[in-house]
Amino acid sequence: MKKLLIIFLASFILFGCTKETPDQILMDAMNSKIDFINEENKGVLFKEFPIYEDDLAVPDKYAYVDMDNDGTNELVVETTSYYGAFIILHYDKETRKIYGYMLGARSLEDLKEDGTFIGSGGAAVSSYCKIKFDKNKYEIIDLAYSDSTNNEYKIDDKDVTKKEIEEFTDNWFKKTSVEWIEVE
């Protein structure tokens, strides 16, 4: 019986502790060791992911952040490409699959540690956003919206004054931005 217990414990130490974490799995996807499911519900390797026409994704820098507050980090990858794009890799705990989503460079600016970010709609238009994932789809949710050209301001989809949006944005900019890691 003791031998059996020792063999079990030795097996657990050797093999049980080597289980990959979601962060490691996402990194494997960024490094094209495993594929992910794109927005067209097809498996693709990161290095073969088309950004625009023949322009393929090349990781430049990345950050881990829990964008949808589900307790698991997403891997947000800024790519080097003519188009300028971010690819978000999301590990779905239910399906145990990786899903990938592309956002243009101006759609995901100043990513914060709480997963919120700015989406720019033009010179005077900004949205302060969070994101929600559902398999191969995502939804961007505006927490606040500012269009200073048309004097239109919203927080939680309710009209607010310019002073209220300024207070919101002042507080938002005090949040800590993610730390980007350069790809070597």
Between 56 and 155, whose confidence is greater?
A: 155
Which phi and psi (to 5°) does residue 15 adopt?
A: -110, -35
CA-nearest of 143, 8, 11 to 67 is 143
CA-nearest of 86, 122, 126, 80 to 102 is 86
Work out the pLDDT band at 15, boundaries 50, 70, 90.
very low
Rounded-to-integer distance, Cα 123 and Cα 11, Å: 59
Q: What is the mean pLDDT of residues 1-7?
A: 42
Residue 81 is predicted with a pLDDT of 66
Q: Kindly report, residue by residue over 57-69, the tens digit of the pLDDT.
A: 889 999 999 999 9
Between 82 and 90, whose confidence is greater?
A: 90
pLDDT cut 90: percent of the chain above it: 72
| Least reliable range by pLDDT among 1-5, 47-51, 148-152 | 1-5
The partner residues of 133 in beta bridges, in order of sequence, read 138
Q: CB atoms < 10 A from the CB of 165, how many?
A: 21
- The secondary structure of residue 33, as a DSSP letter, is S
- The secondary structure of residue 46, as a DSSP letter, is G
User: Is 60 exceeded by the pLDDT of residue 75?
Assistant: yes
Residue 16 is predicted with a pLDDT of 43
Q: CB atoms < 10 A from the CB of 65, how many?
A: 21
Between 17 and 51, whose confidence is greater?
A: 51
Rounded-to-integer distance, Cα 115 and Cα 106, Å: 16
| Least reliable range by pLDDT among 46-55, 113-122, 163-172 | 46-55
Provide the terminal-to-terminal Cα distance of the chain, rounded to the nearest Å. Answer: 50
Rounded-to-integer distance, Cα 99 and Cα 44, Å: 10
Q: Kindly report, residue by residue over 113-126, the tens digit of the pLDDT.
A: 999 999 987 778 99
Q: What is the mean pLDDT of residues 17-34?
A: 88
pTM metric for this prediction = 0.85
